[in-house]
Structure 1
Amino acid sequence: MTDADQVDRLILRTRDLPHEVAVREVNDFFRSLPEATAWALAESRPEQIGPLDGAPPQLRYRANHLILVAAHQRLHALVESRQATLEQRRRLVTLTEMLQPISTRLDVDAGGNRVVVPEPRQYLLVDPEGQGRMIEVQGDLEQAENVAVLVPGMNNDLERVRSQSVRAKEIREEVGPRKTATVVWLGYHAPIGLTAARSTESSRAGAPQLCRFQAGLDVVKSADAKTTLIGNSYGAQLVGRAMLAGVRADRVVLTGCPGVDPAVHSAAQLTPPGTQLFVARSRGDYVSYAEQHGPDPAGFPDMFRFETDNDKVSITGHMSYFEKNSESMINVGRIIRGDLAAVTRAAKTTPEEETRVLGVSWAGPLRTLAHSEAAEPISKVFDGLAALRTISTTPSRQQALDSARKRPGSSTARTPEGPAR
């Protein structure tokens, strides 16, 4: 039996096993292989190795780079031949950006000369088709003392998730980059638009995938590394679903949560043993107030609600929990590195108190509207306007080609450099 055949049998055998059992078997298989054999499998079977939870990260980085390059070359050829659709032109620009190095570092070559070496981006998953999915790692996942996994919310397809990569970088800087790895986990199809976000379909489908990813993380990271799972907006709904399914993490942070489940009213119902729950709700956060999917965790009697404001930055609304220098961002950094005694606690205010204007609160009416029949047509109107804005920003054929050609080695005749042995 060939090594490739063994991989096929491994994937088939572990597909329906419990997550912890499956990822351990995958990890043991690759650790038993000679190094050259393992790398050869990553090179020859990238579609199988790239998304395989439990496989060594370096192998997955290389496999997903090859998947990314192949998709880029395919779309580049379609654009050059004038056969690409509007969506394919947009995707080519996205893949070009994903192939750009995340940074550079100084090194010394064989002759003793100082050289600038590009640091390629590291992907544990690349799905370039349709809406797209990706899991990106910043930092040394296997040596980090702290690992933070960021789960984005609605409207994060492959084109729009770049802002999450920036956020992960800033979170890592806040914690202390030398001992921290951050992960952007877009391993699910996030709901696109308000209409889709009113459903729990995406989070229910994504929760098992997040559980298996976290199990795979446990077998490749340092045994002493602490993990923090961060769910923002609809991502908090998904993290909550994964917690109900038994996801493993040392600490969980939920920001701007639309609720987890109508039956969940306390952290005790949500957090598995050994997991600490931290929640943030800023003043005026309409997503939290609407409680589309259940009671807002910021109101649970047994959670830790952390402060979002300080003298420098005042957080209002739903979009600014990770703003630099805000108390919210500083507290996220403290939680990830385990400096829990320094986390500042927010006052125990209610949505009604936070939204009172001239003696009248708007949180209650918003919650009523969110659960009324009127919510669906209103959501469709907003989604229609958003779709028009997307069409207006679609790149032309020439713009797509120019973007692809900015990166050296983007020609189909040459494979761009990336993670290697």
Structure 2
Amino acid sequence: MRRFTRTLAAVALAATVVAGTAGWASGNSQRAVTGPPPGSASWRADGVLGRELPDPGRATPAQVRAFFGRLDAAEQRELTERHPSVVGNLDGVPLELRYRANALALRASHDPRYASLAGSGRQILAFDPRGRGQVAEVFGDLRSARHVSVVVPGSDIDAGTFDRRGDVYGTPAGMARSLYEETAPGGAVIAWAGYTTPVGLGLDAATGGLAEAGAERLTLFTAGLAADGLPAPVVFCHSYGSVVCGIAASGLGATDLVVFGSPGMRADDVAGLHTGARVWAAKDDTDWIDDVPHVEVAGLGHGADPTDEEFGARRVPADDAEGHTGYFAPGTDSLRAFAAIAEGVSR
């Protein structure tokens, strides 16, 4: 009977995705931006230092960090100025160089979508203008932080919507800033929009292709943080971002994994994530995600609801959050709980 019920739910899911009914909007198919940073070909061919540079497509973050650790300040500056798009996006490069490189790349860009990102004082840890654009921004002093959090967003997020004025707490910058302001001094929060997200709620949002590509990028990103000697992160994953985090869970090196407004993590339960991280889940009663069938059949859907008791995640209170993007709103129980998890108080 259970299998029959799940099959019916899967058929219903397929119908809503293909036909765009029952609240699902039509989405545009996206091609994931993957591979090494822009400008990698010029980087590989550059002999300015008289030695081979690490291959952006093959070198691990630890190898990249070791290479930069052998350079003096003048050599680091030379590479940053000659290849800002590579230095700014290559996991394992010291974060101070990445800030500098991305500031240079943003100033050289004439795309109005990125004008606000070039503002004074912003700490841009990644900026890739390919496709719809990918960005990561740091709130706080990451180098001296005692605890680090990473916020992974869901659908419809790119460089142009990274910090939009409308629906602030549905944006990575808005979520990260709110969490940073709620936590005690001494922490840092990274808003990571470093993968190609689905547009709308069509087939991309119901399948795992973009999440798989995003999981690979997220794993490299957190490995880069580790290579730079930063604390193991707490990772917060919203909506489709929780699918990314579920696939990446075993390789993130996170202390805690927090999902909210999740359509599923491509796992039946916490054990299926193969992670040593503590897993937390939140969903408020007004979140439309509750109308999405929590199944995974024939590649459609993302599996069990992480807030179900059988899943085994620790439940985060979210009764006063509103809708799908209200979890980081100031004054909510969910934000207070998120801050306690980020600080290590709830362990």
Q: Above 0.5 in TM-score?
A: yes
* DSSP-derived class of the 1:10 partner: coil
User: 1:10–1:334: structure 2 CA closer, same or farther, 3 Å change rule?
Assistant: same
Q: Evaluate the alpha carbon distance shift between residue 32 and residue 328 of structure 1 in structure 2; reply closer, same or farther with a 3 A threshold.
A: same
Residue 157 of structure 2 aligns with which residue? 156
Deviation of 1:285 (Å): 2.3
* Structure 1 equivalent of residue 282 of structure 2: 280
- Is the Cα–Cα contact under 8 Å of residues 259 and 288 in structure 1 kept in the other structure? no
Matching residue of 1:127: 128
1:106 is aligned to none
In structure 2, the partner of 1:95 is 114
What amino acid is aligned across from residue 100 of structure 1 in structure 2?
Answer: G
Pick the aligned partner of 1:298 from 307, 310, 318.
307
- Is the Cα–Cα contact under 8 Å of residues 143 and 221 in structure 1 kept in the other structure? no
User: Aligned to 2:307, what secondary structure does the other structure show?
Assistant: helix
What letter is aligned with 2:253?
Answer: R
- Counting helix residues as a fraction of each chain, which structure ranks higher? 1
Equivalent residues in 2 for 1:331-350, closer than 5 Å: 331-340=337-346
Summarize deviations over 1:155-193 as a string: whole Å, max 9, x none: 1121111042122111001112x3111111111011111
Q: Which stretches of structure 1, 4 residues or longer, exceed 6 Å deviation after superposition?
A: none
Q: Aligned equivalents of 1:70 and 1:247: distance in 2?
A: 33
- Deviations for 1:199-232, whole angstroms, at most 9, x for unmatched residues? 222111111110010000112244xx34100100
Distance verdict in 2 for CA 1:325–1:28, change over 3 Å: same
Q: Distance in 2 between matches of 1:34 and 1:145?
A: 27
CA distance in 2, matches of 1:317, 1:208: 29
State the partner residue of 2:181.
173
| Percent of matched pairs sharing the same residue | 31
Question: Which of 230, 249, 270 pairs up with 2:254?
Answer: 249
Which residue of structure 2 aligns with residue 144 of structure 1? 145
Structure 2 partner of 1:265: 268
Aligned to 2:325: 319
Q: Give the whole-Å Cα distance in 1 for the aligned partners of 2:208 and 2:270.
A: 20
Corresponding residue pairs, total: 286
Question: Which residue number corresponds to residue 10 of structure 2?
Answer: none
Equivalent position of 1:70 in the other structure: 108
Could you state the TM-score of these two structures normalised by the residue count of structure 2?
0.78
* Aligned equivalents of 2:288, 2:94: Cα separation in 1: 41
Amino acid at match of 2:318: T
Q: Corresponding residue for 2:35?
A: none
The question of whether the paired residues in 1 share the 8 Å contact of 2:134 and 2:194 is answered with yes
- Which AA in structure 2 matches 1:233? S
Which deviations, in whole Å up to 9, do the C-alpha atoms of 1:115-157 show, x marking residues without a partner?
xxxxx21112112233111111112212101111000110112
CA distance in 2, matches of 1:260, 1:173: 28
The one-letter code sitting in structure 2 at the alignment partner of 1:134 is: V
What are structure 2's unaligned runs of at least 5 residues?
1-45, 164-170, 295-300
**What does residue range 197-216 of structure 1 map to in structure 2 within 5 Å?**
197-216=205-224
The residue matched to 1:194 in structure 2 has which SS? coil
SS at match of 1:287: helix
2:61 aligned residue: 23
Say which SS state the counterpart of residue 279 (structure 2) adopts.
strand
Preserved contact between residue 68 and residue 128 of structure 1 (Cα < 8 Å): no
- Alpha-carbon distance, 1:4 to partner: 5.0
Q: Which residue matches 1:353? A: none
Q: 1:58 maps to what in 2?
A: 96
Q: Which amino acid letter does the alignment assign opposite residue 33 of structure 1?
A: L
Which entry has the higher C-alpha Rg, 1 or 2?
1
Matching residue's letter, 1:339:
V
Unmatched segments (≥5 aa) in structure 1: 73-90, 102-119, 342-421
TM-score (norm: length of structure 1): 0.65
Is 2:196 the counterpart of 1:189? yes
Q: What secondary structure sits across from 2:54 in the alignment?
A: helix
Whole-angstrom distance in 1 between the partners of 2:132 and 2:252: 25
Is this contact kept in 1: 2:85–2:128, CA < 8 A?
no
1:3 to partner: Cα distance: 4.5
Q: Contact conserved, 2:49 with 2:75, CA < 8 A, in 1?
A: no
* Aligned AA (2:245): V
The one-letter code of the counterpart of 1:315 is A
> Shift of the alpha carbon at 1:337?
0.2
What is the distance in 1 between the residues matched to 2:50 and 2:283?
50
Q: Given residue 324 of structure 2, which amino acid in structure 1 is its aligned partner?
A: H
Amino acid at match of 1:141: L
Whole-Å separation in 1 of the counterparts to 2:239 and 2:49: 41
User: Hey, what does 1:40 align to over in structure 2?
Assistant: 78
Contact 2:117 2:124 in 1 (8 A): no
Task: Tell me: CA distance 1:68–1:255, structure 2 relative to 1, closer, same or farther (3 Å).
Answer: same
Letter in 1 for 2:283: R
Q: Secondary structure at the residue paired with 2:210?
A: helix
**Equivalent of residue 10 in structure 1, options 54, 63, 67:** 54
Note if contact 2:304-2:311 (Cα within 8 Å) is conserved in structure 1: no
Give the whole-Å Cα distance in 1 for the aligned partners of 2:99 and 2:130: 18
Q: Quote the Cα distance in structure 1 between the aligned partners of 2:324 and 2:217.
A: 26
- Say whether the 8 Å CA contact 2:269–2:306 is kept in structure 1: yes
Q: Does the 8 A contact of 1:141 with 1:221 survive in 2? A: no
Contact 1:297-1:303 within 8 A present in 2 as well: yes
Q: For 1:340, what is the secondary structure of its paired residue? A: coil
Find the aligned partners of 1:6 and 1:70 in 2 and give their Cα distance. 28
* Deviation for aligned residue 1:2: 3.7
